[in-house]
């Protein structure tokens, strides 16, 4: 779909993580609806956040009940009921956050049940959750398209995974690129893309140590200036890789 839109409409699209509408209650008593994590208010002004929950129904052979229960637990699901439809097939009922099923719940469900499960859901209610906004900084600058709202318990692992993925996906530059996952100004994960090395001493023959030192210092200062003004371009492949990060 993305390739067709770019080709037929001459658009430059970026694929980002699917999001839901969060109800953000502020300390002054006001409530605002946020669908883009980049629009999240300052953490110091937030009293609490509510997220949409759904009632999920999974039809599955009895032999895969354990696998479905494990997957749903990973997705912060609340088990409600299990009904036997036949001696070998059951219906499992869960309440779970909509944000947890948007990305890959169904794919994982099919994988863990060898394609024998079916899934349906309907909106239930908004619930208060311990959610935080996590920013991803490249060269100390936040990339709005990589910002996510995540449950606090999952924040560290999620931040570490994103940093590791970006380190592999972003091409190296002539300057060092720090990648940081940040929550409320606190760095929770970090990776570094090392700078490309240029052999400035290749044409410096002989043993003139002082000249070699000057060349290396000049290179060091040049890279420092590049880092200060350098904007890091994030390839589309990096965004797609972040989308595929497992829980």
Average pLDDT for residues 107-133, to the nearest whole number? Answer: 95
The segment(s) of the chain belonging to CATH 3.30.70.240 are 2-129
Class of domain 2-129 (CATH, top level): alpha beta
More confident residue, 38 or 211: 38
Give which of 44, 42, 40, 85 is closest to 61, Cα–Cα.
Answer: 85
Q: Average of pLDDT values for 191-203?
A: 71
The share of the chain scoring above pLDDT 90, in percent, equals: 59
Confidence of residue 2 (pLDDT cuts 50, 70, 90): low
| 132-243, CATH topology level | Alpha-Beta Plaits (3.30.70)
Residues 177 and 192 sit within 8 Å (Cβ to Cβ): yes
In the chain, CATH 3.30.70.2570 sits at 132-243
Instruction: With CA atoms as reference, report the closest residue to 20 among 41, 42, 51, 50.
Output: 51
Q: What is the pLDDT of residue 76?
A: 95
Confidence of residue 241 (pLDDT cuts 50, 70, 90): confident
Stretch 4-19: mean pLDDT, rounded? 65
Name the nearest CA neighbour of 224 among 171, 166, 172, 174.
Answer: 174
Calculate what percentage of the chain has a pLDDT beyond 70.
78
Cβ density class 47-61: b for 16+ within 10 Å, e for less = eebbbbbbebbbbbe
Q: Is the pLDDT of residue 199 over 60?
A: no
Tens of pLDDT, residue by residue over 36-87, are: 998 999 999 999 999 999 999 999 999 999 999 999 999 999 999 999 999 9
pLDDT value at residue 240: 76
DSSP state letter for 45: G
pLDDT at position 32 over 60: yes
Least confident of 121-135, 154-168, 232-246: 232-246
Residue 226: is its pLDDT beyond 50? no
Q: For the ranges 13-22, 139-148, 220-229, which has the lowest average pLDDT?
A: 220-229
Average pLDDT over residues 210-222: 58
Chain CA centroid to CA 214, Å: 43
């Amino acid at each position: 779909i993305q390739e067709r839109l770019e080709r037929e409409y001459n658009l430059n699209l970026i694929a980002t993580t699917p999001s839901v509408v969060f109800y953000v209650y502020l300390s002054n008593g006001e409530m605002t609806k946020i669908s883009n994590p980049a629009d999240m208010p300052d953490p110091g002004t937030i009293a609490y956040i509510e997220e949409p929950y759904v009632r999920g129904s999974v039809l599955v052979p009895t032999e895969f009940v354990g696998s479905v229960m494990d997957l749903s637990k990973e997705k912060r699901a609340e088990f409600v009921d299990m009904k036997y439809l036949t001696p070998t097939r059951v219906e499992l009922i869960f309440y779970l956050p909509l944000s947890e099923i948007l990305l890959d719940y169904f794919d994982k469900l099919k994988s863990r049940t060898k394609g024998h499960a079916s899934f349906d859901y309907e909106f239930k209610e908004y619930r208060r959750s311990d959610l935080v906004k996590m920013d991803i900084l490249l060269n100390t600058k936040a990339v709005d398209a990589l910002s996510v709202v995540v449950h606090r318990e999952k924040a560290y692992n999620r931040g570490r995974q994103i940093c590791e993925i970006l380190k592999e996906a972003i091409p190296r530059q002539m300057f060092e690129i720090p990648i940081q996952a940040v929550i409320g100004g606190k760095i929770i994960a970090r990776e570094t893309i090392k700078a490309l090395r240029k052999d400035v001493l290749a044409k410096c023959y002989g043993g003139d140590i002082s000249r070699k030192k000057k060349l290396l210092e000049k290179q060091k200062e040049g890279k420092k200036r590049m880092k200060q003004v350098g904007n890091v371009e994030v390839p589309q492949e990096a965004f797609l890789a972040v989308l595929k990060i497992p829980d």
